[in-house]
Amino acid sequence: MSTQTPSIEIEDYKHGFSDPDRSVFKTRKGLDEDVVRAISDLKGEPEWMKTFRLRALKTFYKKSMPNWGADLSNVNFDDIYYYAKPEGEQQRNWDDVPDDIKKTFDRIGVPEAERKFLAGVGAQYDSEVVYHNIRADLEQQGVIFCDPETAVREHPDLVREYFGTVIPFGDNKLAALNSAVWSGGSFVYVPKGVEVDIPLQAYFRINLESFGQFERTLIIADEGSFVHYIEGCTAPVYATDSLHSAVVEIIAKPGARVRYSTIQNWSGDIYNLVTKRAIAYEDATVEWVDGNIGSKRTMKYPSIYLMGEGAHGEVLSIAFSGKGQEQDTGGKVVHLADNTTSVITSKSISKGGGIASYRGLVKVEKGVRNVKSRVVCDALILDDQSQSNTYPYMEIDSDDVSVEHEARVSQISEDQLFYLMSRGMSEEEASAMIVNGFLDPLVKQLPMEYAVELNRLIELEMEGSVG
Amino acid sequence: MSGPIQTNVETLRVRAGELFDAMEWPTPSEEEWRRTDLGRFPFDDYQVDDERSASTTILEDWSGRDLFPESEFAAAARFEAGVCVGASGLDSLGESGAILALSNEDVRDLGDELPGPGANAFEKMLETTLGRIDNRVEAWHYRGELHGAVLYVPAGVEIATPVLLDFSEKGQMALTAPHVFVILESGASVQLIVSLTTSESDRLLCNSGIHASVAEGARLELLVIDDLGSETTHFAHRRATVDRDARFTQFEAHLGGSLVKSRSEAELAGAGSEAYLNGVFFGDNGAHLDIRSVQTHLAPHTTSRSLYKGVVAGSARTIYQGLIEIDEEATQADAYLTNNNLVLDDGARSDSIPSLKIRTNEVKCSHGSTTGRIDQAALFYLMSRGFTRDAAQSTIIEGYFEDVAKRGGPLAIASVMGAITRRLAGRAA
């Protein structure tokens, strides 16, 4: 079998177009107290939020970059625009969104998606959310879905109670950075017992070059409620790198269930360094479905703290690492209460010299009884230049546990290829089909439209991968 | 390729000393040391016993029968507190061409009696050893007062019965550095048993090393039993280089000790080579055991397996860090790693970190890890048959360990199971 160097070119990235810079306000490059104050003033924030930002900035200076994981040596914090406000105000009516931006999201397919299958949509362009809408019936039931700036204004009590409690700004350098310069994102509150039957979606778009997008998402699912939140990300292709560093906090109150799905398809010049963490109380369930296809470097390990008895956590992680890419992804679960269970499933594919690393943690705190956890990592390496790493950490501080982990790294089996090719498929089609089959158990977890999109993205990435 | 010998044990010590001076003690910011913080470790409190090195070597006939009554050894040697106090079989081993060289008064002479090819191989091994020192603790090991042996088996020689080296370390606040070099030329074969025991009462630091070179088609079976006192700190540096079509099998038991940090690495350097790393570890009371195994595949068609089983009790903490690394050249590599941990008591802590670093695609590579408590159904079954809880628990743990110990052969079963039974009895009492 001849394995030729795969030739996924950057042109294949269909979201690579860019629009002219029409920002109405942009901070200068680099970061200092003035920049943070300017962002806060522009948003007309209350003093407590400004103080929060400034304290976070101090922490950002003090903390060092992680000395593990993906190679971040080229991230230059002084060469980034930290805030850019696009033209126009936030709209609830799609027609009122400025034309350029509307065209962008039309091309990505956001309004179409909303019409078809979403309960609410948010669209963020660079630093600000340009569009936010939610189905009227949900709003009547008390569901809040807005950008965090609006939440700070209209629901300050909720924000102050939960903001930064799951991920304090001192958590890591990038969380501190986000806390200092955050802009945009989503704020979701689902009242007791309300089930949001179809997903809420947020769409993140970076348009500028050398830009940093720092959205902030906070989801509070009150007792017995359910919500599924989906985020998608794209950016144009530029010569210089941009930074996306989000913070996502989820609080699942007793009996609540929150599912958070990500299809990350940033262009190949984005550093994607994201902190995502959820807290699950009694009998609550939190599920992260995390698909990482794009970006230059991704470091992201969605985590779940199981704080209440009977809580359950699941992380499903898909990573596709092609030429020039490094996906350092995984998941963390910390068992802090009795009778808690967790499952982490990771599937990664590396090709064309890409590096896919699984990095995960299962931790069981002292004295916690009856814990079950299972971690399964599968990796496919499609050619001899690509790399796959697995770094699972299991820290068990209790004697009443069952923690299992297994990992496999393999190539596409020649038997499978031979079988499919004997049925008349080309090698390329056969490989793509095997890869799709490999990811199938995860793709099934996504809403159909997203599953279709993910399959299509993988097919695109697989094109020309065998010669 | 013979020339004047450039590197001997003395140059190793000097150059390791230079490395030692240039390095800092490892800190938790380095992944391998993240869970074993030596920040407050009183390195300077431990001293080499000067009188020891000056004392006269007494070479009595020592057959190893007091340790393994059932066994015959091709050669055996015993070291007490750094001094070789007894040996047997050296001459008869010599008739086959193999050499067991022992350090006596002056460790700098170690290996001097090796014949031409053996001396060259030994020199090469010392060079490799120097090149691989990557932390100050290991540099410290070589720089200090080494004692130990070189086992050399020439090409094509197969030693039918095992060779035994017994190290018994003692001395309050003593710093000891036992070391064993093993050189197997092509097609040679031997089983080597290294037993390391430390005094139960003395607070001491043992910084040990075993380095093996297994040439083309050779077979080395290494059985290492560390049965340590509760006040012992043990740093262990173990590495084997396995050449074309050669096979290296290691079984190591880490029993007891207060602080143990060990790394065993098998480097599959030649095509078609195989390595099997097996180990058990048992931490009780407040012990801290940090055990690492590394399977490095550098050549095509290489096979490796690791199986490590641990038991952690009391308020002890065990850390198992396993790594399979497949180099770009190592196509058709086949590697597997298993780690199982039993947590006996609440308050005991077990970390399991099995990692994979894969640099090529034509591989079969996987690992599995489980951590849990004793199977309650099995416990209940045994108790329903009249076992006390402690007896039932001990029986289950013995069975759990025996699964690995039998991979080390009958001697491993005899010595390891004996030590484990003793430790379990101590717990129940």
The answer to whether residue B343 scores a pLDDT higher than 80 is yes
Distance CA B207, CA B232 (A): 10
DSSP-derived pairing of the beta strands B75-80 and B83-88:
antiparallel
Give yes or no for residue A235 having a pLDDT over 80.
Answer: no
Tokens of B402: 């025996």
**Number of inter-chain CB pairs under 8 A, A vs B:** 114
Interface of A with B (CB under 8 A): 3, 67-68, 366-367, 379, 381-411
pLDDT band at A467 (very low <50, low <70, confident <90, very high): very low
Residue A466 predicted with pLDDT over 70: no
Q: Is the model's pLDDT at A110 over the cut of 70? A: no
Do residues B412 and B251 lie in contact, with contact meaning Cβ atoms separated by under 8 Å?
A: yes
Average the pLDDT over A255-268 and give the result: 90
Q: Which amino acid would we find at residue B66?
A: D
Same domain, B381 and B248: no
| Residue B88 is assigned to a structural domain of this protein | yes
**For chain B, what is the domain count?**
2
- Spatial distance between the Cα atoms of A364 and A171, rounded to a whole number of angstroms: 20
Q: Chain B window 342-401: which residues touch A at a Cβ cutoff of 8 Å?
A: 343-373
Indicate whether B4 pLDDT > 60: no
Assign residue A229 a region: left if phi > 0, alpha if psi is -120 to 50, beta otherwise?
beta
Does residue B293 form part of some domain? no
Query: Contact at 8 Å (CB) between B255 and B283?
Result: no
Domain termination residue (choose one: B207, B238, B269): B269
Tokens linked to A364: 């069981």
Q: Look at A389 and B331 and tell me if their CB atoms are within 8 Å.
A: no
Q: Please report the pLDDT score of residue A1 as a whole number.
A: 38
Same domain, B388 and B263: no
Helix (H, G, I), strand (E, B) or coil at A382: coil
* Nearest-neighbour CA in chain B from A405: distance (Å): 5
User: Is residue B344 in a domain?
Assistant: no
Distance of CA A233 to the CA centre of its chain: 8
Supply angle C-alpha B389, B391, B395, rounded to 5: 115
Does pLDDT of B123 surpass 50?
yes
Confidence of residue A77 (pLDDT cuts 50, 70, 90): very high
Q: What is the mean pLDDT of residues A226-251?
A: 85
| Contact residues, B window 323-352, toward A, CB-based 8 Å cutoff | 328, 331, 341, 343-352
Measure B374 CA to nearest chain A CA, in Å. 9
Distance CA B390, CA B404 (A): 22
Residue A62 confidence (pLDDT): 95
User: What's the rounded Cα separation, in Å, for the pair B303 and B298?
Assistant: 11
Q: Out of B345, B358, B370, whose CB is closest to A399? A: B345
Q: Is the CB of B343 less than 8 angstroms away from the CB of A386?
A: no
B243 located within any domain = yes
Span of A13-22, A317-326, B322-331 with lowest mean pLDDT: A13-22
Of B345, B353, B365, the CB nearest to A392: B353
> What whole-number percentage of chain A has pLDDT above 70?
92
Hey, what are A105's tokens? 């999201």
Which of the two residues, B403 and B205, has the higher pLDDT score? Answer: B205
**Which of A394, A398, A399 is facing B352, going by the closest CB pair?**
A394
At residue A110's C-alpha, the angle toward residues A105 and A114, to 5°, is 150
Residue B198 near residue B172 (C-beta atoms within 8 A): no
The DSSP secondary structure of A196-235, one letter per residue, reads: --S-EEEEEE--STTBEE--EEEEEE-TT-EEEEEEEEE-
Q: Does B362 contact A394 at a Cβ distance shorter than 8 Å?
A: no
Are A408 and A380 a contacting pair, CB within 8 Å? no
User: What's the half-sphere exposure (Cβ side, CA atoms, 13 Å) at A228?
Assistant: 12
DSSP character string of B258-302: SEEEEEEEEEE-STT-EEEEEEEEEE-TT-EEEEEEEEEE-STT-
> Minimum mean pLDDT among A350-359, A449-458, B359-368: which range?
A449-458
Residues B261 and B381 both lie in one domain: no
Residues in a beta bridge with B369:
A405, B339
Does the structure show a pLDDT above 90 at B385? yes
CB contact under 8 A, A406 and B373: no
- pLDDT of res. B2: 44
Residues of B in contact with A386 (CB under 8 A): 361
Does residue A299 have a pLDDT over 60? yes
Q: Which of A68, A379, A383 sits opposite B31 (nearest CB)?
A: A68
Put simply, the answer to whether A406 touches B369 (Cβ < 8 Å) is yes
Q: Map tokens 């065993």 to a residue.
A: B264
pLDDT confidence band for A11 (50 / 70 / 90)? very low
Question: Which pLDDT belongs to residue B380?
Answer: 95
Percent of chain A with pLDDT over 90: 57
In the predicted model, is pLDDT for residue B6 greater than 80? no
Tell which residue, A439, A173, A175, has the closest CA to residue A293.
Answer: A439
Find chain B residues with C-beta within 8 A of A366's C-beta.
346-347, 349
Query: Torsions phi, psi of A127, nearest 5?
Result: -90, -20
Select from A379, A390, A396 the Cβ nearest to the Cβ of B371: A396
Mutation site for A-interface testing, chosen from B315, B331, B332, B358 by largest number of A Cβ within 10 Å:
B358
Kindly tell me if the per-residue pLDDT of A320 is higher than 70. Answer: yes
pLDDT band of A345, cuts 50, 70, 90: very high
* Radius of gyration in angstroms for the set of CA atoms belonging to chain A, rounded to a whole number: 21
pLDDT digits (tens, 9 = 90+) for B71-114: 899 999 999 988 899 999 999 999 999 999 998 767 778 888 88
Judge whether B148 and B103 are in contact, CB under 8 Å: yes
pLDDT at B330 over 70: yes
Whether B171 is covered by a domain: the verdict is: yes
Which residues of B are less than 8 Å from A407 in CB distance? 354, 356, 366-368
Distance from CA of B321 to the nearest CA of A (A): 9
> Is residue B288 a part of any domain in this protein?
no
Query: Is there a contact between A408 and B366 if contact means CB atoms under 8 Å apart?
Result: yes
Spatial neighbors of B213 by CB under 8 A, at least 6 apart, are B121, B124, B125, B128, B182, B183, B184, B240, B241, B243
Residue of chain B minimizing CA distance to A361: B353
Among chain B residues, the shortest Cα distance to A67 is held by: B29
If we measure between CA atoms, which residue out of B43, B229, B251 comes closest to residue B141? Answer: B43
Region B214-237: what's the mean pLDDT?
97
- Structural domain including B411 reads 375-429
Query: What single DSSP character describes residue B79?
Result: E
What is the chain B residue with the closest CA to A1?
B362
Calculate mean pLDDT across residues A326-352.
96
Do residue B100 and residue B225 come from a single domain? yes
Confidence band, pLDDT 50/70/90 cuts, at residue A252? very high
Nearest one of B274, B231, B222 to B251, comparing CA atoms: B222
- Cβ contact A384–B361 (<8 Å): yes
C-alpha to C-alpha distance for B156 and B179, rounded to whole angstroms: 25
Which parts of A245-370 are beta strand (E)? 247-252, 257-264, 270-280, 285-292, 297-300, 303-306, 312-321, 326-335, 341-350, 355-364
- Is the CB of A396 less than 8 angstroms away from the CB of B351? yes
Instruction: Determine, for residues A381 and B361 on separate chains, whether the beta-carbon distance falls below 8 Å.
Output: yes
Work out the number of other CB atoms within 10 angstroms of the CB of residue A107.
12
pLDDT tens across A408-417, in order?
998 888 888 8
Instruction: Say yes or no: B262 and B407 in one domain.
Output: no
As a whole number, the mean pLDDT across chain B is 92
B324, B308 Cβ separation under 8 angstroms = no
At residue B396, what are phi and psi to the nearest 5 degrees?
Answer: -65, -40
Q: Label residue A431 by pLDDT band (50, 70, 90).
A: confident
Instruction: Please report, for chain A, how many H helices and E strands are present, in that order.
Output: 11, 24
Q: Within this chain, do residues B207 and B81 fall inside the same structural domain, yes or no? A: yes
CA distance B346 to A397: 7
Rounded CA-CA distance A120/B121 in Å is 73
Residue B2 covered by a domain: no
pLDDT computed for residue A239 by the predictor: 67
Q: Summarize the confidence of residues B45-64 as an average pLDDT.
A: 74
Q: Which amino acid is at A434?
A: I
* pLDDT tens track for A151-180: 999 999 999 999 999 999 999 999 999 999
Tell me the per-residue pLDDT of A199-208, one tens digit each, with 9 for 90 and over.
888 888 887 7
Hey, are the CB atoms on B352 and A396 less than 8 Å from each other? yes
Using 50, 70 and 90 to split pLDDT, how confident is the model at B5?
A: low
- Tell me the CA distances in angstroms from A35 to A22, A39, A181, B49, one per residue in order: 20, 6, 8, 63
Question: What residue has token string 């000067």?
Answer: B50
| Contact list, A402 vs chain B (CB under 8 Å) | 370-372
Shortest distance, CA A297 to any CA of chain B (angstroms): 18
Q: How many CA atoms lie within 13 A of A258 on its CB side?
A: 29
Q: What is the mean pLDDT of residues A329-349?
A: 96
Q: What is the per-residue pLDDT across A115-160, written as a single tens digit (0 to 9) for each?
A: 666 677 778 888 888 777 788 888 899 999 998 999 999 999 999 9
Q: Count Cβ atoms below 10 Å from residue B22 Cβ, excluding itself.
A: 9
Q: Which of A388, A434, A435 to mutate to test the interface with B (most CBs of B within 10 A)?
A: A388
DSSP-derived secondary structure letter, B161: S
| The domain boundary residue, chosen from B242, B269, B296 | B269
Domain closes at, from B269, B288, B304:
B269
Count of other CB atoms within 10 angstroms of residue A87: 16
Q: Which runs of consecutive H residues, i.e. helices, occur in A27-123?
A: 33-42, 47-62, 99-108, 110-117
pLDDT, position B1: 40
The answer to whether B371 contacts A384, with C-beta atoms less than 8 Å apart, is no
Asked if A409's CB is within 8 angstroms of B358's CB, the reply is yes
